């Protein structure tokens, strides 16, 4: 069977194909858009570990950060992560802290898409100078290794609404034990 279309019929077939493709695309984009605000509320961030590492630049602290998008929404991007931390030890009568007035700071700029039903794991490294390392070692030794790291994490999420409302910022504060 040999099909021959006239020029008018060919243009009609092309027009129908483009129209159907556009309708499908618009439908998927609309469903994705309707998922935006519920998905924004479902984003989660967590610092899962803080510990010592021996980096090439010298002794460091490393914090593992997990950013999760459990929704079906597509369109989030993790712009940057910033972490401040200090250390503490609590007992029944008192709380001792180290670096609370001048917290240690780490920054990562993954600039990575956060796809639907996915997670992004990022490591923030904080290089310690010799004075900070000595203070932390003494603090850890004094309290028999039973200190906690108090972390404040800020994650900047980029969305299609950035030109209107700016970046979306997620914040948490957590206490974690210091791993070696």
pLDDT for residue 152: 95
pLDDT for residue 180: 64
How much is the average pLDDT of 150-156? Answer: 95
Paired residues of 112 in beta bridges: 78
CA dist 166 → 111, 115, 124, 153, 160 (Å): 16, 20, 24, 19, 10
CA atoms within 13 A on the CB side of 31: 7
pLDDT at 92 over 60: no
Burial state string for 106-129 with b = 16 or more CB within 10 A and e = fewer than 16:
bebebeeebeeeeebebebebbbe
How much is the average pLDDT of 156-170? Answer: 88
Q: Is the pTM of this model over 0.95?
A: no
Given a contact cutoff of 8 angstroms between Cβ atoms, the answer to whether 93 and 58 are in contact is no
pLDDT digits (tens, 9 = 90+) for 19-67: 888 877 776 767 667 788 899 999 999 999 998 887 676 788 999 999 9
Domains, the chain, ranges and CATH? 1-34 (no CATH), 43-179 (2.60.40)
Residue 63: closest CA among 146, 141, 174: 174
Region of 11 on the Ramachandran plot (φ > 0 left; ψ -120 to 50 alpha; else beta): alpha
Query: Residue 94 is encoded by which pair of tokens?
Result: 């008192």
């Amino acid at each position: 069977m040999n099909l021959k279309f006239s020029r008018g019929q060919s243009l009609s077939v092309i027009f129908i194909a483009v129209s159907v493709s556009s309708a499908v695309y618009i439908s998927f984009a609309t469903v994705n858009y309707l998922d935006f605000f519920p998905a924004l509320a479902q984003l989660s961030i967590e610092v899962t570990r803080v510990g010592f590492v021996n980096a090439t630049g010298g002794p460091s602290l490393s914090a593992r950060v997990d950013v999760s998008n459990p929704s079906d929404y597509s369109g989030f991007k993790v712009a940057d992560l910033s972490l401040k931390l200090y250390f503490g030890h609590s007992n029944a009568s008192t709380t001792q802290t180290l670096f609370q007035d001048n917290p240690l700071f780490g920054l990562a700029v993954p600039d990575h898409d956060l796809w639907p039903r996915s997670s992004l794991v990022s490591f923030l490294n904080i290089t310690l100078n010799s004075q900070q390392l000595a203070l932390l070692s003494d603090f850890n030794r004094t309290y028999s290794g039973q200190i906690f790291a108090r972390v404040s994490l800020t994650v900047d999420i980029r969305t299609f609404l950035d030109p209107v409302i700016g970046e979306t910022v997620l914040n948490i504060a957590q206490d974690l034990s210091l791993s070696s």
